[in-house]
Amino acid sequence: MQETRAFPKEDGLENGLKVLREGYMYAPNRHKIYQSDAFETRLLGEAAIVIGGEEAAKLFYDEDKFKREGAAPEPAKATLLGKGGIQGLDDEAHRHRKQLFMSLMSKERIEIWSKLVEKHLLKATREWMDQESIIFYEEAQKVLTRAVCEWSDVPLPEKDVEKRTRQLVSMFESPMAAGKRHIEGRIGRKQGESWLKELIKQVRNGQLHPREETALYQVAWHKELDGHLLDEKTAAVELLNVLRPSVAIAIYFAFTALSLHQFPEVKEKINGENPYYLHMFIQEIRRYYPFFPFNGAITRKDFTWNGYTFKEGTLVILDFYGTNHDSRIWEQPGQFNPERFNDWHTSPTDQVQMKLVSQGGGDYDTGHRCPGEWNTVRAMEILTDFLINKISYEVPEQDVGFSMVKVPTIPKSGMVLKNIEFIG
């Protein structure tokens, strides 16, 4: 039997400020100092255990041991997540709601999504050609807002594109921000929810007729296990759970443009003989660059793992960034190397895997793992082909460094591109 041991413990009654000061490196720094996959700290007034690595991910996604109800902190619910959405559900209720999201992710629907991303990139290019330069991160947000609204059958009048884009962006840029940026996120969530509540109402009273296969239709007519429709607010929260993260792919778009700039040698390989190289390149972008730092769950019961005793009702946080950079999983994790995914190419988002956890780990169909992983990968593949083969552009002198403290982070310049032209 394994000996029990005490968690290494971080000093201090409240260490939330350290998380804000160290950002993506808060957890990996401590796992290294303590030489342990788990340590105890205090965050937002309560004790928390922070875990990292592949074995820790397996533990975190064990639904016998963890639940999500009550795990998300108030600042995240007021901005990123909203209340009553899938992220806080467990067991049957969760699996039932996950089916709603997975019903939107058939192969055909994901293909339509990727075609819409391409269509809106092409359309936007005609405007970009008239401008001396563009900030690609900001332009990508609008491209993705247009694409996801069309994909979801959410009406988006031209005059509202900027406003709706800003609202959606404010929700994912703000949960860990302070001051003005955080307040914008709270306002963005309120405005976004009232916009979509109104649309849900219009669908239900017959004023609006979205196609059956779209998110607006499916969310509006989704029945809970008790046979009732979702209340309007929860329906708006779930529709935002499609719209908001689809626009957040703009962050990966900025990192895709950056990686093509930093590692130009990949272009030839992407256009070369290995048909899987593009997948491998995208996987490496999702592993290498920081995005979602961590997520939390609550223990359902007392148990022992690796000699550590977890008490029922404890907040446990899984370090996504640190797991994606764990040298026990990834050889030379600090190097950008798409070839490391050579043997992953048959299944770029494996059904169950606990190594690449940029969008969570565990079971894609039934667990809390992100249902939008394929949409993300396909959109990035479309963008990569577009940047290499469809347009030419220059990357002028600029600060493309990115903060490891600001969450979510992007290249500081937002990726300025200039002299954009179609090729051929």
Structural tokens at position 278: 């593009």
From candidates 78, 370, 416, 420, binder to ligand HEM by CB under 6 A: 370
137 binds ligand HEM (CB under 6 A): no
Min dist. Cβ of residue 350 to ligand HEM (A) = 15
Min dist. Cβ of residue 246 to ligand HEM (A) = 4
Euclidean distance between CA atoms 88 and 72, whole angstroms: 7
**What track of x and - describes contact with ligand HEM for positions 319 through 358 (by CB under 6 A)?**
---------------------------------------x
384 binds ligand HEM (CB under 6 A): no
214 binds ligand HEM (CB under 6 A): no
24 binds ligand HEM (CB under 6 A): no
Euclidean distance between CA atoms 132 and 208, whole angstroms: 40
Q: Which stretch binds ligand HEM (CB under 6 A): 226-234, 275-283, 336-344, 370-378?
A: 370-378
Min dist. Cβ of residue 111 to ligand HEM (A) = 14
Looking from the CA of 234 toward its CB, the CA atoms found within 13 Å total 15
Where are the extended beta strands (E) located within 137-258?
none
From the CB of residue 407, how many other CB atoms can be counted at a distance below 10 Å? 21
Could you give the angle at which helices 373-385 and 107-128 cross, rounded to 10 degrees? 40
242 binds ligand HEM (CB under 6 A): yes
368 binds ligand HEM (CB under 6 A): yes
Min dist. Cβ of residue 396 to ligand HEM (A) = 26
| Residues 6 or more apart in contact with residue 171 via CB below 8 angstroms | 79, 80, 185, 188, 189, 192, 240, 244
Spatial strand order of the sheet with 38-43 comes to 38-43, 46-51, 315-319, 294-299, 66-67
From candidates 15, 114, 246, 409, binder to ligand HEM by CB under 6 A: 246
87 binds ligand HEM (CB under 6 A): yes
Q: Which stretch binds ligand HEM (CB under 6 A): 185-193, 270-278, 291-299, 342-350?
A: 291-299
Task: Please give the span between the terminal C-alpha atoms of the chain, in angstroms, as a whole number.
Answer: 68
| Residues 6 or more apart in contact with residue 303 via CB below 8 angstroms | 65, 309, 310
52 binds ligand HEM (CB under 6 A): no
Looking from the CA of 4 toward its CB, the CA atoms found within 13 Å total 6
316 binds ligand HEM (CB under 6 A): no
291 binds ligand HEM (CB under 6 A): yes
Q: Site for ligand HEM (CB under 6 A): how many residues? A: 24
Min dist. Cβ of residue 39 to ligand HEM (A) = 20
376 binds ligand HEM (CB under 6 A): yes
Min dist. Cβ of residue 97 to ligand HEM (A) = 7
DSSP string, 299-319: ESS-EEETTEEEPTT-EEEEE
Nearer to ligand HEM, 164 or 420 (CB): 164
240 binds ligand HEM (CB under 6 A): no
Euclidean distance between CA atoms 30 and 397, whole angstroms: 36
Could you give the angle at which helices 161-173 and 136-152 cross, rounded to 10 degrees? 110
From residue 150, alpha-carbon distances to 115, 116, 210, 235 in Å are 11, 8, 10, 18
State whether the Cα torsion 92-248-373-298 is positive or negative: negative
Min dist. Cβ of residue 262 to ligand HEM (A) = 20
152 binds ligand HEM (CB under 6 A): no
Helix or strand or coil: residue 36? coil
Q: Which stretch binds ligand HEM (CB under 6 A): 48-56, 247-255, 300-308, 387-395?
A: 247-255
Binding interface with ligand HEM (CB under 6 A): 86-87, 98, 101, 241-242, 245-246, 248-249, 252, 291-292, 295, 358-360, 368-372, 375-376
